[in-house]
Amino acid sequence: MVKLLEKVCCMRLRTAGFVIGWLGVLGAVIGCISSACVIASPDALLDHIRRYYDNVYNIRLNADTLASIRKDIVLITSIYLAADIIAGLISGLLIHGIKKNRYLMILPWLILNGIGLICSILYLLVAIYSVFQGTLETTIIFIASLLFFVLYYYIYWGIYSLYKHIQIHKITGHTI
């Protein structure tokens, strides 16, 4: 059996869980605000895209293409807004679960970030393939992705350890 952690980044598990939870809530709030701003005024982003294509590629986008891009901006940003709201709620559940010593409230965070870890592994596999192309840029991206994955896994394992500690203490009747 793999050993559970006692600390994460020199913090007790509960403290690290609170920090990770509040950072998740803060990130979700910032994401919601930025998504709401883009949804409220997609024409500002659309104008930037139009100027970019005009200046970089020397391509003038016609009105139909701009209307299609505008719809896509609103659609994709709406999806991001929904994802930010869900992530914020799940981070809030993490905080509340730690506060009330309820391990089942930590489970949604573990599931969501477990999916994220699987996606990171898939991305690393693609990045490994890209490294064999031999460019310096792909090698740097691979190394950065690998470091991100290691940090992500470490944080995930810390929250999982907290989950197991709370679960064990709940079953035995002790408090942590």
Other C-beta atoms lying within 10 Å of the C-beta of residue 9: 12
Other C-beta atoms lying within 10 Å of the C-beta of residue 20: 24
Predicted structure pTM score: 0.86
What residue segments make up the domains of the chain, in order of their start? 12-100, 105-176
Helices 63-100 and 136-172: crossing angle, nearest 10°? 30
Q: Report pLDDT digits (tens) over 98-135.
A: 999 999 999 999 999 999 999 999 999 988 888 887 78
**For the chain, the helix, strand and coil percentages under 3-state DSSP, each to the nearest 5:** 85, 0, 15
